A and B are shown apart, each in its own frame.
Chain A
Amino acid sequence: MAALVSVRDVVKHFPVSRSLGEVVRRARPVVRALDGVSFEVGAGDAVAIVGESGCGKTTLGRLMLKLVEPTTGSISFDGAALGGLKGPALREFRRQAQLVFQNPFDALNPRFTIYRAVAEPLVNAGIAEAEHADRIAAAFRRVHLPDLDRYLDKYPHQLSGGQLQRVVLARALVLAPRFLVADEPVSMLDVSVRAGILALMREVRDAMGLTAIYISHDLALVRYLCDRTLVMYLGTIVEDGPTEEIVRRPRHPYSRALVAAVPVPDPDQSRQPLPIKGNVPDAREPPSGCRFRDRCPHAFARCADEPPPLRAIADGHRVACHLEIA
């Protein structure tokens, strides 16, 4: 199937405030949020982006929605480069690509009623006001909030976290988009509510044929949502493959550490010791070669010299490691 979104050699550096010494030396330190990321997302696919804070996953999501511009590299949506989108083409893109937020308590304007919040995309897309009520009703049914009149005149603080996240999802769906980015959509919700939102996201995706990106730090959650997972570390993709493969047989040493670290609710499950030590290095001065080498139990000379390319080890499975991990 043709790719709906393709990300090519994307690099994103954020400037950071300089120390006096750096000003004198005319150094321009940057945080290397993303450093050469390439992948494609097929139409109708659901892809998870997993990694620890600071790995660049959120930046990647924002780039795909054209909320920030890449330093170099390009992203295209449905064949058109996002960099060149302007005017009507940009408005059309905004209709087709939507975002679901991590914190539903912050994602809705506290001064807007639920009706106004969900109508906002319709207003921005210039849809006739006569159509609003019907479209909003349809979006609310999709997210299983059929009892419209109980919600529409309320303000966000009057709803629970689970209800708010449904409203946020309804707002994202009201324009019937093709592409959805969800940034940690359930991490702020209580456990018993979480499962319902995850099931809903899956259901909505299937019903509308959405292409979706889920950004999460939690490999365990991602399993319930996506068939394919990208594991990121310090601005690079270290492994890209079928979620079950990555969970059962992680190939990259970092993926292995991640899988080993995820706690499981079953006390009878024996846990392997953590195979790595230390902390994530500073993204202003990442290690040369492989970003993971200073924490990797298998690192050897070559790892410091050249960054490992992301190479295919099986159909639909790529790993960025110099070891022969097949």
Chain B
Amino acid sequence: MILEVDGLQIHYGTAGGTVRAVDGASFAVPEGRIVGLVGESGCGKTTAVRAIMGVLAENGRRAGGRVVFKGKPIDETNTRPLLWRDIAYVPQSAMSSLDPVYTVGAQIVEVLTKRGRHGKTAARARAAELFDLVGLSENRLRDYPHQFSGGMRQRAAIAMALALEPSLLLADEPVTALDVIVQRQILDTLRALQQRLKLSMVLVTHDISVVAYLCDEVVVMYAGQVIESGPVREVLGRPRHPYTMGLRNAFPDLMSDALELVPIAGSPPDLADPPPGCRFTPRCPFALAACSTRPAAIGSDRAGAGNAHVSACLRDGEADHLRTFALDPVTWQRSSAYATS
């Protein structure tokens, strides 16, 4: 495992009290794999990634848990030297990471000379090499960010992230703002780079179809906690947590025969005052009385080089049985008997 996150807790101090944005999340990234961190807005996926890099917002702090990178515990005091060289970041909007007043080439050269130990000439050669790697023509190095299309900017951001040959790439919604064809091109590029450079990657996204296309493993988050994780084929093909089942039903699928999408009624809990027990209980059609008292716990298990399929659901043993019910839209129409709102 190149990265292990264990019981991570991130709290934000707000006017409305302490928000537990991440509340005991655990997951691991195997060497040379792409792990999708998936969930809806506010589930804590972006916060978790920022915490790994040690760059939380001012009002955020790590309240507990460990992050271990290559066997060494890291926190905000010692991540800075690792950034770019070992851990690199690709943002959702490349426009925000590229400075509009410098050429893209100059910005990559700056990373290479200031963060790395390249000389000016070597850095220029390396920048051209990086552009070639991500599928951009090297004479575009002289262009300014606004002269790039959205897809090209994203490629440039990836090139910059790869400048100092990091071993772990953290990408936050790298293709969300792009059109489908460009999105597919970028995903293909990421896949090719990952294989060629033996990269490990965490891909934060709300889009399970992107995960299905690109990732080897997936970690599903809900309300600040990890509720299911494991190999993509297993988790998306045979989900074991009702939330993942619901997500799968709600997600449009160009190729499926079902012509109905099934919403999950209700909305995620207030993280300033989360319900006791499993946080999905109020929306879960399969909830039992025990679900609202016993906190969800997720184990971890190895399967070969990667992680095995695990779920935090109390009724994990009945998962196959529940899945057949979950396919029926009627199941999701009645809210749980233990629903609080």
Count B interface residues, CB 8 Å. Answer: 46
**Inter-chain contacts of B319 with A (CB < 8 A):** none
Cβ of B224 < 8 Å from any Cβ of A?
A: no
Q: Is B251 an interface residue (CB 8 A)?
A: yes
Number of chain A residues close to chain B: CB under 8 A = 39
Interchain CB contact (< 8 A) of A224 among B150, B207, B261: B261
Residue of A52, A190, A280 most packed against chain B (CB within 10 A): A190
Tell me whether A194 and B209 are in contact (CB under 8 A). Answer: no
Q: Which residue of chain B is the closest to A219 with respect to CB atoms? A: B254
Selected from A190, A217, A259, A264, the residue in CB contact (under 8 A) with B40 is: A190
Stretch at the interface among B97-105, B166-174, B176-184: B176-184
Interchain CB contact under 8 A, B185 and A191: no
For chain A, residues 251 to 273, give those with C-beta under 8 angstroms from any C-beta of chain B: 257-269, 271
A52-B181, A274-B188 are contacts. A265–B251 as well, Cβ < 8 Å?
yes
| CB of B232 within 8 Å of the partner chain | yes
Question: Is A313 positioned at the interface, with any CB of B under 8 Å from its CB?
Answer: no
Distance (Å) between the CB of A55 and the closest chain B CB?
9
B237 engages A267 (CB within 8 Å): yes
Say whether B261 contacts A267, CB under 8 Å.
no
Contact of B255 among A196, A198, A199, A269 (CB under 8 A): A269
Residue A221 CB within 8 A of the other chain: yes
**Residue B141 lies at the interface, judged by CB distance under 8 Å to chain A:** no
On chain A, the residues within 8 Å of B251 by CB distance are: 191, 265
Q: Does A132 contact B (CB under 8 A)?
A: no
> Cα distance A190–B247 when bound, in Å?
10
Q: How far is the CB of A95 from chain B (nearest CB, A)?
A: 31
Q: Which of A223, A257, A264, A269 contacts B259 (CB 8 A)?
A: A223
Assembled-state Cα–Cα distance A264/B265 (Å): 23
Are B255 and A192 interface neighbours, CB within 8 A?
Answer: no
Bound complex: CA of A183 vs CA of B254, how far in Å? Answer: 20
Interface contact A265-B264, CB-CB below 8 Å? no
Residues on the B chain within 8 Å of A160, using CB: 267
- Check A267/B233 contact, CB under 8 A, given A224-B260, A262-B254: yes
Q: Is B206 an interface residue (CB 8 A)?
A: yes
Decide: A276 and B208 in contact? CB cutoff 8 A.
no
B250 to chain A, nearest CB (A): 4
Please pick, from B181, B233, B250, B267, the residue contacting A268 in the complex, using a CB distance under 8 A: B233
Q: How far apart sit A247 and B40, CA to CA, in the bound complex (Å)?
A: 27
Is there an interface contact between B181 and A220, defined as CB atoms closer than 8 Å?
no
Partner of A199, one of B40, B209, B261, B264: B261
Q: Which residues of A contact B237 (CB under 8 A)?
A: 266-268
Contact B208 A265 (CB under 8 A): yes
In the bound complex, residues from chain A placing their C-beta under 8 Å from that of B14 are: none
Check B212 for interface membership: any CB of A closer than 8 A.
Answer: yes
Question: What per-residue 1/0 map shows which CB atoms of B220-231 lie under 8 Å from chain A?
Answer: 000000000000
- Is A258 a contact of B181 with CB atoms below 8 Å? yes
How near does chain B come to A17, taking the closest CB pair, in angstroms? 13
Instruction: Establish whether residues B206 and A224, one from each chain, have CB atoms under 8 Å apart when the complex forms.
Output: no
CA distance A68 to B209 in the complex (A): 36
Residues of the A chain whose Cβ atoms lie less than 8 Å from the Cβ of B152 = 279
Minimum distance in angstroms from A252 CB to a CB of chain B = 14
Q: Does A72 contact B (CB under 8 A)?
A: no
For residue A199, which residues in chain B have a CB less than 8 angstroms away from its CB?
260-261, 263
Answer whether A266 and B252 are a contact pair too, CB < 8 Å, given A195-B261, A199-B263: no
B96 close to chain A: CB less than 8 A: no
Note all chain B residues with C-beta closer than 8 A to A223: 252, 254, 259
B148-173 vs A, Cβ < 8 Å mask (1 yes, 0 no): 01111000000000000000000000
Do residues A261 and B181 form an inter-chain contact, with CB atoms below 8 A? yes
* Set of chain A residues within 8 Å of B254, measured between Cβ atoms: 219-220, 223, 247, 259, 262, 264
List residues of chain B with CB within 8 A of the CB of A271: 213
> A267–B236 contact, CB under 8 A?
yes
* Interface presence of B95 (CB below 8 A): no
The reply to whether B252 and A221 contact each other, CB–CB distance below 8 Å, is yes
User: Given the complex, which residues of B lie within 8 Å of A259, measured CB to CB?
Assistant: 254
A69 at the A/B interface (Cβ < 8 Å)? no
Contacts A160-B267, A192-B263, A193-B267 given: A263-B149 contact, CB under 8 Å? Answer: no
**B233 touching A220, Cβ below 8 Å:** no
Residue in B40, B150, B255, B260 whose Cβ sees the most chain A Cβ within 10 Å: B255
CA distance A192 to B185 in the complex (A): 27
Sampled A-B contacts (30; CB under 8 Å): A52-B179, A52-B180, A53-B150, A53-B179, A190-B206, A191-B247, A192-B247, A193-B263, A194-B261, A195-B262, A199-B263, A219-B254, A220-B254, A221-B252, A223-B259, A258-B181, A259-B254, A260-B184, A263-B183, A263-B207, A264-B212, A264-B254, A265-B248, A266-B253, A267-B212, A267-B232, A269-B255, A271-B213, A274-B184, A280-B149
Residue numbers of A with Cβ under 8 A of B are 52-53, 160, 162, 190-196, 198-199, 217-221, 223-224, 247, 257-269, 271, 274, 276, 279-280
User: Which residues of chain B have a CB within 8 Å of any CB of chain A?
Assistant: 40-41, 149-152, 179-185, 187-188, 206-213, 232-233, 236-237, 246-256, 259-265, 267
